[in-house]
Chain A
Amino acid sequence: MKIIECRDISKMYFRQKALEQLTFSIEENKITGLIGRNGAGKTTLLKLISGFIKPTAGEIKVFSEQPFNNLFVSANSILVDDSMSFPAALNLGDIMDAAAAFYSNWHQPLAEGLLDYFSLEKYKYHNRLSKGQTSTFNMIIGLASRCPLTLFDEPTIGMDAAVRKDFYRALLKDYLAFPRTIVLSSHHLEEIEHLLEDVLLIKNGQCLLHLPIYDVKEMMISVEGKLAIADQVLQEKEIIYEQSIGTNHVHRVLLREEASVEELQGAERMGLKIRPVNASDACVYLTDKGKGVIDDVFNKN
């Protein structure tokens, strides 16, 4: 069953396109990573799915219903981000009570256990938490609500490395105990790639790819070696990314499907180093395509 279905959705903000003709669908009980650079439209997409905003064009369906102004979608989904708004008059314990009232799948032991583990006190107030604590608390609300559709928008902002690791572990454990559809947005994939089943990569409001994480890991290879040899071997092949190392060495990335196994073996014999590209780098190369690298900015001067 498809939980989220988007067909040609666009969203304009003051005549500026945030999303453009995005089409994809997300299956039930999958953990999908929503990957993209800053400003790619990740937050806009998640807000569309939550029904916070309306698409300018196209059709979006969550649980087969339009999410905007939809109680059913609201009751079955939660969007967790660092700007989640809680009343200043409520302390953390009160907020958890409120969440328990609203979300019928709410699991109080989990919420209390996590709160205790992350050393957050119930009588503290949300607006007095540090950035990392805010993210941690919001994440606890998101996990304990056990909504059939749980959306995390950059959930780890401000968290330190240890808390981030714990968070991902908690997410995975609770997902296994209580499978649900999760969309996790992030701009660095390497941290979350072990959790993900699918990757949805967006750039400039458009969907670049939507593939299982395994395929993304296998998607590209990198070739490194002398410039002359590389030019010879990689003739007529589409290079996704290129970086010069010194004056006569080069590092090039290309799609695995561009080159056959024989060609690659031949290249290795000629002294080129062939390596697979990890998923995170693959996504960076895809979203960077055409822009070159930061070095170029400096090389021009």
Chain B
Amino acid sequence: MMSLIKTDLVKVLKMQYLFKFKANIDVFSSLIGIQLLAVLFSFGGFYHSTHGWGMVINLQQYSANIVICFTFIWALITAITITTKPYRHYDFTFVTNRLSSSLSNILFLLTVSVLGSITAMLSSNLIKFIVYMFLDDSIVLFKQPFFDFFTGMITTSLYTFLFCSIGYLVGAFIQYHKGFSVVIPVLFMGLLIFDGMTMNSTTITGFTEFYIKESNPFYFLLKTILMSSLVLTAAISIFNHLEVER
């Protein structure tokens, strides 16, 4: 008699995680594409002129803010993409169950969030470098406080992962019923307009402010991790009932 293979979740997770890096390698191409596009947009910088004390200071500020925002969009799209049928079904070709499939997806998203955030933060140097090359006459004030880079990287990673989580849940809804692919964008726009009309931040803007107005790093960490866990748990439980219709 043929002996049956014993297996456990951790072992399968490890295999799926490694597999996903090979299978979803294209997400890095799109990351590079979107970040380079954002770098291009960042060359304009932020112009600011101050007048006084017998002088006019024309200040041009460069940062990777646009790159970071584009990375968020990329994270959202990537997370939605890996919930679509072809991506989900790779797992079912090999060894999986729904939980391990979701968990390995989440681990993958976590890793690409961190990688995407590191490159986003580093891209500020690429912007500065290119700007510096074309500079003619200017006082140049570039600083590289290591601690800022470090906190920025962690914060950006947390934000990016939050976007991934939201994307994963949106993807789960859409996989549950195609109608959500219409309902969710409409709802999002509707709430945004509602916020704009009532002139206060209740729904989407309120949610955004909940994060960007948090100046305590510890609370921020808590808020993002709790929200991500909540959102991902919901997504996992939706996926846990989905059948494979290949």
Indicate yes or no for A touching B, C-beta below 8 A: yes
- 8 closest A-B pairs (Cβ-Cβ)? A87-B23, A85-B89, A52-B244, A102-B94, A53-B243, A75-B7, A69-B97, A102-B95
From the candidates B2, B5, B22, B245, name the one contacting A90 in the complex (CB within 8 A): B22
Residues of A within 8 A of B96 (CB): 71, 74
Residues of A within 8 A of B245 (CB): 52-53
**B7 close to A71 (CB less than 8 A):** yes
| CB of A83 closer than 8 Å to a CB of B | yes
Q: Which of A93-101, A165-173, A253-261, A263-271 contacts B (4 or more CB under 8 A)?
A: A93-101
**B94 close to A99 (CB less than 8 A):** yes
**A90 close to B1 (CB less than 8 A):** no
For the complex, give the distance between the alpha carbons of A104 and B246 in Å.
Answer: 25
For the complex, give the distance between the alpha carbons of A89 and B82 in Å.
Answer: 13
Q: List 12 A-B contacts (CB under 8 A).
A: A29-B1, A52-B243, A63-B4, A71-B8, A75-B12, A75-B95, A85-B246, A86-B90, A87-B24, A87-B87, A89-B24, A148-B2
A74 and B95 in contact, given A47-B244, A89-B24 (Cβ under 8 angstroms): yes
A101 and B18 in contact, given A85-B246, A86-B90 (Cβ under 8 angstroms): yes
From the candidates B4, B22, B94, B97, name the one contacting A103 in the complex (CB within 8 A): B94
Residues of B within 8 A of A99 (CB): 94
For the complex, give the distance between the alpha carbons of A98 and B243 in Å.
Answer: 23
For the complex, give the distance between the alpha carbons of A98 and B25 in Å.
Answer: 14
Residues of A within 8 A of B6 (CB): 72
Residues of B within 8 A of A69 (CB): 97-99, 240
Q: Encode B104-120 as 1/0 by CB contact (under 8 A) with A.
A: 00000000000000000
| CB of A243 closer than 8 Å to a CB of B | no
User: Which residue of chain B has the shortest Cβ distance to A181 in the bound complex?
Assistant: B2
Distance in Å: Cβ of A168 to nearest Cβ of chain B = 21
CB-contacts of A26-83 with B (<8 A): 28-29, 47, 50-54, 63, 69-72, 74-76, 81, 83
| CB of B19 closer than 8 Å to a CB of A | yes
For the complex, give the distance between the alpha carbons of A114 and B23 in Å.
Answer: 24
| CB of A188 closer than 8 Å to a CB of B | no
Residues of chain A touching chain B, judged by Cβ–Cβ distance below 8 Å, are 1, 28-29, 47, 50-54, 63, 69-72, 74-76, 81, 83-90, 94, 98-99, 101-105, 148, 178-180
Residues of B within 8 A of A50 (CB): 92
CB-contacts of B117-152 with A (<8 A): none
Residues of B within 8 A of A54 (CB): 243
Kindly count the residue-residue contacts between A and B in the assembled complex, taking CB atoms under 8 Å apart: 96
**B23 close to A90 (CB less than 8 A):** yes
| CB of B37 closer than 8 Å to a CB of A | no
| CB of B184 closer than 8 Å to a CB of A | no
From the candidates B4, B19, B24, B100, name the one contacting A98 in the complex (CB within 8 A): B19
Residues of chain B touching chain A, judged by Cβ–Cβ distance below 8 Å, are 1-2, 4-9, 12, 15, 18-19, 22-26, 85-87, 89-90, 92-100, 240, 243-246
A89 and B26 in contact, given A47-B244, A75-B7, A75-B12 (Cβ under 8 angstroms): yes
For the complex, give the distance between the alpha carbons of A47 and B243 in Å.
Answer: 9
**A89 close to B23 (CB less than 8 A):** yes
For the complex, give the distance between the alpha carbons of A51 and B15 in Å.
Answer: 20
Distance in Å: Cβ of B123 to nearest Cβ of chain A = 24
Distance in Å: Cβ of A92 to nearest Cβ of chain B = 13
Query: 9 more A-B contacts (CB under 8 A) besides A29-B1, A85-B246?
Result: A29-B2, A69-B240, A71-B9, A76-B5, A85-B89, A87-B24, A102-B94, A103-B5, A105-B5
Residues of A within 8 A of B98 (CB): 69
For the complex, give the distance between the alpha carbons of A268 and B64 in Å.
Answer: 94
Residues of B within 8 A of A179 (CB): 2
Distance in Å: Cβ of B18 to nearest Cβ of chain A = 7
User: Which residue of chain A has the shortest Cβ distance to B2 in the bound complex?
Assistant: A148
User: Which residue of chain B has the shortest Cβ distance to A52 in the bound complex?
Assistant: B244
User: Which residue of chain B has the shortest Cβ distance to A148 in the bound complex?
Assistant: B2
